[in-house]
C-alpha cells in the first residue's frame, strides 16, 4: 500500500495524515491531575484539565497505561487489556475523557503493552496452575532450568530492571518447577508471540479500543516481542544500554519476526476510518535499522531515541538530524523528535549533567555531576525551541512545557520504580521524572488535587513552575511552548524540510524550514548575529535577546 507523503507533488489533493506533522503530548495519568483526591491522577482529572492542553495547542495526547493492573511497574504490567483500573476510573470516564479531547480536536493515543502481561493476568494464573507442556503454559515462555536439578536459569539473560530475567515456579506439591522469562520485573512474564492465540488476543485488544474511538496506539517495547530461536545465552555490550540501543544482534531485541506482527496490526487499523496511528517504542540503533519499524505496511512512527540521547551540541545534533530525515524519509515515514518521557531524566536536568549518567538509570542525591538548575532550564528551553521547528512528529512529555526539572531528592522510602528495588538502590530509576504536576501556586498539592495526597512527594519549591504562574506570562517556559506550537502550526513547519545554514561557528547550528530560520547557540558564550540575519524579525526566542547578540544556550526563530 502506498501512503501519501508529506512531500507529495503539487496537485496531489490528498491531505497528509495528521500524525505526520503532529505534536503529541504524553500524559502520565498517575501524575497529571487527580479528581478523586486519592493521590494518584485519574481519567476524570485529565478530562477536567483538557482546556490546558487545548490552550497549549497540542494535536494529540498519548496516555501511559490506565488498564487494570497491580501497578508493580506503574501500569506497564497489565491484568486486563480491555478495562480501566479503578485507580484511574471507569470505562465511562475513559469515554468522557475521549469525547472531551475530540471535541477540542485533540486526538487520543493509548499505550499498548504486548511484550508481557502482569502475573495477575488470567492467562498467567492459568499457566501456573497448569502442567508443564500444557497449552496454558504455551502462551508464555516457560522453560526447564539448567543444572542437575534444573536449579539454574535456562539462560544468562538479565532483566532490564536488573537481576536475572528468569524466575522459577513452584509446583502444586511444593517442589521447584519450570522457569518463566521476564525481560522486566518478575511480575511481568513475557508472552510467547509465536503462539497464534497470543496474536488473536491482541487483535481483539486493538479492536476494543479502536471501536471506542481511539486514534492509535503507542506500542511498548516494540522491539522485544520475538526472541531468537533456542533462547541462546547473550552477554550485553556494556555500551548498549539496558533496552538495546547500540547493541547489535541481541537475541531478545529487534528480531526480524516482530515485523510480521506489525504488518498484521497495520491491517487491523486500516479497517477503521480516519488515520489511526501505531507508534513504536523501539530502542534500536542505527536509525536506518529502526526505520524498518515504520515501513509503509508496518507502524507509522517510531520514537527517535538517538535524538533524545544527543547532547545540546551543534556538532552532535546535525548528523543525528540528517540521519533521522534520511532514514525515516527512505521508507516514506516522517521523522520524529523527542527530548523527554516517563523513562528518562527530564531534559531540564539531563542537559546540565556534568558527568556521564547511564541512560535510564535515573539520578538521585548520590549521583555524580549533579545538574545545575538554571543552566538546565536555559538549555532545555533552547533545545525544545529547536526541536519544535523541525519537520515531522514531535513528542512532548507532560511538565516539560513548565520547564520541570528531575526531582532528585526523593526520600528513599518514597521511591516506587522496580529498578530501585531490583538493584538494591544502586540505580535510582525513573521516579524523579514522574512526580505529579503543579497546576496552581500556593495551593494544596499545587492543585494536582484538593487533598494534598500525592503518590510521590512534590518538592516544596514548585510554585513558580506551576501552570497558573506561567500562563500568559511573557518569557515563561509555558509561553515559549505555546508560542512555538502556534507558529509551528500556522507556518506548517511540521510538513516542512530542513536546509542547513552553512559556515556557522562550530558551536552554532542553523537551518531554514519554510519561512523561518532557526539558530541555536550550543556554546555557553554569546554569538554576534551577522548583519544580514540580525535585520530579520524575531518570531521566537528561548531567552531574552538584547541587540544583535544571541546568548549562549539559546535558540531563536527568525522570519526568513
Ligand atoms: C517501556 C515503558 C517503561 C516500562 C517498560 C516495561 O520501556 O516505557 O515505562 O517500564 O516498557 O513495560
Q: Say if ligand 1 is within 6 A of residue 76 CB.
A: yes
Residue ID of nearest Cα to ligand 1 atom 2: 220
Calpha distance 360→337 (Å, rounded) = 18
- 4 alpha carbon – ligand 1 mean position (Å): 32
Q: What is the pLDDT of residue 9?
A: 37
- 105 alpha carbon – ligand 1 mean position (Å): 28
Q: What is the mean pLDDT of residues 360-379?
A: 92
Q: What is the pLDDT of residue 355?
A: 75
- 221 alpha carbon – ligand 1 mean position (Å): 7
- 514 alpha carbon – ligand 1 mean position (Å): 37
Given a cut of 90, whether residue 243 has pLDDT beyond it is: no
List the alpha helices (DSSP H) in 104-236. 122-129, 196-212
Q: What is the mean pLDDT of residues 368-373?
A: 91
Calpha distance 476→11 (Å, rounded) = 41
Q: What is the mean pLDDT of residues 450-464?
A: 98
Q: What is the pLDDT of residue 485?
A: 98
Per residue in 472-521, pLDDT tens? 999 999 999 999 999 999 999 999 999 999 999 999 999 999 999 999 99
* Mean pLDDT rounded to a whole number for the chain: 95
The catalytic site residues sit at: 220, 271
Query: Per-residue confidence at 14, pLDDT binned at 50, 70, 90?
Result: confident
- 493 alpha carbon – ligand 1 mean position (Å): 31
Q: What is the mean pLDDT of residues 139-165?
A: 96
Given a cut of 90, whether residue 361 has pLDDT beyond it is: no
Per residue in 173-205, pLDDT tens? 899 999 999 999 999 999 999 999 999 999 999
List the alpha helices (DSSP H) in 151-286. 196-212, 258-270
Helix, strand, coil percentages (3-state) for the chain, rounded to 5, are 30, 15, 55
Per residue in 155-173, pLDDT tens? 999 999 999 999 999 998 8
Provide the 8-state DSSP code for 245.
Answer: B
Q: What is the mean pLDDT of residues 525-535?
A: 96
Q: Say if ligand 1 is within 6 A of residue 225 CB.
A: no
Per residue in 411-455, pLDDT tens? 999 999 999 999 999 999 999 999 999 999 999 999 999 999 999
Strands (E), 245-340: 277-280, 301-302, 336-338
List the alpha helices (DSSP H) in 477-528. 477-490
Per residue in 245-278, pLDDT tens? 777 789 999 999 999 999 999 999 999 999 999 9
Q: What is the pLDDT of residue 4?
A: 38
pTM for the structure as a whole: 0.96
Mutational pocket test of ligand 1: of 118, 343, 359, the residue with most ligand atoms within 8 Å of the beta carbon: 343
Query: Per-residue confidence at 7, pLDDT binned at 50, 70, 90?
Result: very low
Phi/psi region, residue 281 (left: phi>0; alpha: psi -120 to 50; beta: rest), is: beta
Q: What is the pLDDT of residue 359?
A: 63
Mutational pocket test of ligand 1: of 27, 79, 221, the residue with most ligand atoms within 8 Å of the beta carbon: 221
Written as nine digits, the cell of 487 is: 507558529
Contact 466, 34 (CB under 8 A): no
Q: Percentage of the chain with pLDDT > 90?
A: 92
Q: Say if ligand 1 is within 6 A of residue 35 CB.
A: no
Given a cut of 60, whether residue 12 has pLDDT beyond it is: no
Query: Per-residue confidence at 13, pLDDT binned at 50, 70, 90?
Result: low
* Atom of ligand 1 at shortest range from CA of 430: 9
Q: Say if ligand 1 is within 6 A of residue 283 CB.
A: no
Q: What is the pLDDT of residue 182?
A: 98
Per residue in 264-321, pLDDT tens? 999 999 999 999 999 999 999 999 999 999 999 999 999 999 999 999 999 999 999 9
Higher pLDDT, 7 or 540: 540
Q: Say if ligand 1 is within 6 A of residue 400 CB.
A: no
Given a cut of 90, whether residue 357 has pLDDT beyond it is: no
CA nearest 388: which of 216, 555, 504? 555
Residue ID of nearest Cα to ligand 1 atom 12: 76
Written as nine digits, the cell of 392 is: 515531522
Given a cut of 70, whether residue 2 has pLDDT beyond it is: no
CA 102 from centroid of its chain's CA atoms: 22
Q: Say if ligand 1 is within 6 A of residue 303 CB.
A: no
Amino acid at each position: 500500500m502506498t501512503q501519501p507523503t508529506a512531500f507529495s507533488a503539487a496537485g496531489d489533493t490528498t491531505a497528509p495524515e495528521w500524525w505526520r506533522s503532529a505534536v503529541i503530548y504524553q500524559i502520565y495519568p498517575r501524575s497529571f491531575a487527580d479528581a478523586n483526591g486519592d493521590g494518584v491522577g485519574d481519567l476524570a482529572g485529565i478530562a477536567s484539565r483538557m482546556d490546558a492542553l487545548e490552550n497549549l495547542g497540542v494535536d494529540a495526547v498519548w496516555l501511559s497505561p490506565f488498564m487494570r493492573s497491580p501497578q508493580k511497574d506503574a501500569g506497564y504490567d497489565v491484568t486486563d487489556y480491555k478495562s480501566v483500573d479503578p485507580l484511574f476510573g471507569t470505562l465511562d470516564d475513559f469515554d468522557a475523557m475521549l469525547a472531551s479531547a475530540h471535541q477540542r480536536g485533540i486526538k487520543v493515543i493509548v499505550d499498548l503493552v504486548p511484550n508481557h502481561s502482569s502475573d495477575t493476568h488470567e492467562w498467567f494464573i492459568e499457566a501456573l496452575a497448569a502442567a508443564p507442556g500444557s497449552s496454558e503454559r504455551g502462551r508464555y515462555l516457560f522453560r526447564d532450568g539448567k543444572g542437575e536439578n534444573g536449579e539454574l536459569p535456562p539462560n544468562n539473560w538479565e532483566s532490564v530492571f536488573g537481576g536475572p530475567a528468569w524466575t522459577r515456579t513452584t509446583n502444586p506439591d511444593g517442589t521447584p518447577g519450570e522457569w518463566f522469562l521476564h525481560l522486566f520485573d518478575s511480575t511481568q512474564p513475557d508472552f510467547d508471540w509465536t503462539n497464534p492465540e497470543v496474536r488473536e488476543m491482541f487483535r481483539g485488544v486493538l479492536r476494543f479500543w479502536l471501536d471506542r474511538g481511539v486514534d492509535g496506539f503507542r506500542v511498548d517495547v516494540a522491539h522485544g516481542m520475538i526472541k531468537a530461536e533456542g533462547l541462546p545465552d547473550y552477554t550485553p555490550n556494556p555500551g548498549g544500554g539496558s533496552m538495546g540501543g547500540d547493541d547489535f544482534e541481541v537475541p531478545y531485541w529487534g528480531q526480524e519476526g516482530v515485523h510480521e506482527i506489525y504488518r498484521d496490526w497495520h491491517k487491523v487499523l486500516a479497517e477503521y476510518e480516519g488515520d489511526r496511528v501505531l507508534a513504536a517504542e523501539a530502542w534500536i540503533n542505527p536509525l536506518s535499522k529502526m526505520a524498518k519499524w515504520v515501513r509503509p505496511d508496518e507502524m507509522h512512527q517510531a520514537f527517535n531515541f538517538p535524538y533524545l540521547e544527543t547532547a545540546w551540541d551543534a556538532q552532535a545534533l546535525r548528523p543525528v538530524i540528517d540521519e533521522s530525515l534520511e532514514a525515516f524519509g527512505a521508507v516514506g515515514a516522517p521523522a520524529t523528535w523527542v527530548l523527554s518521557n516517563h523513562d528518562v531524566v527530564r531534559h531540564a536536568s539531563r542537559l546540565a549533567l556534568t558527568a556521564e549518567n547511564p541512560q535510564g538509570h535515573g539520578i538521585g542525591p548520590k549521583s555524580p555531576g549533579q545538574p545545575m538548575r538554571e543552566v538546565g532550564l536555559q538549555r532545555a528551553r533552547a533545545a525544545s525551541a529547536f526541536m519544535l521547528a523541525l519537520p515531522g512528529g514531535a513528542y512532548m512529555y507532560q511538565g516539560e512545557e513548565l520547564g520541570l526539572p528531575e526531582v532528585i531528592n526523593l526520600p528513599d522510602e518514597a521511591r516506587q520504580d522496580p529498578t530501585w528495588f531490583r538493584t538494591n538502590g544502586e540505580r535510582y530509576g525513573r521516579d524523579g521524572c514522574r512526580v505529579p504536576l503543579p497546576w496552581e501556586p500556593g495551593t494544596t498539592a499545587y492543585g494536582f488535587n484538593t487533598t494534598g495526597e500525592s503518590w510521590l512527594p512534590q518538592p516544596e519549591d514548585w510554585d513558580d513552575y506551576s501552570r497558573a504562574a506561567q500562563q500568559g506570562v511573557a518569557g515563561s517556559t509555558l509561553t515559549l511552548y505555546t508560542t512555538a506550537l502556534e507558529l509551528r502550526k500556522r507556518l506548517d513547519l511540521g510538513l516542512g524540510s530542513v536546509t542547513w545554514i552553512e559556515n556557522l561557528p562550530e558551536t552554532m547550528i542553523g537551518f531554514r524550514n519554510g519561512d523561518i530560520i532557526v539558530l541555536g547557540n550550543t556554546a555557553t558564550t554569546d554569538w554576534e548575529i551577522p548583519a544580514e540575519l540580525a535585520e530579520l524579525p524575531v518570531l521566537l526566542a528561548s531567552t531574552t535577546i538584547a541587540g544583535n547578540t544571541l546568548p549562549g544556550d539559546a535558540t531563536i526563530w527568525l522570519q526568513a
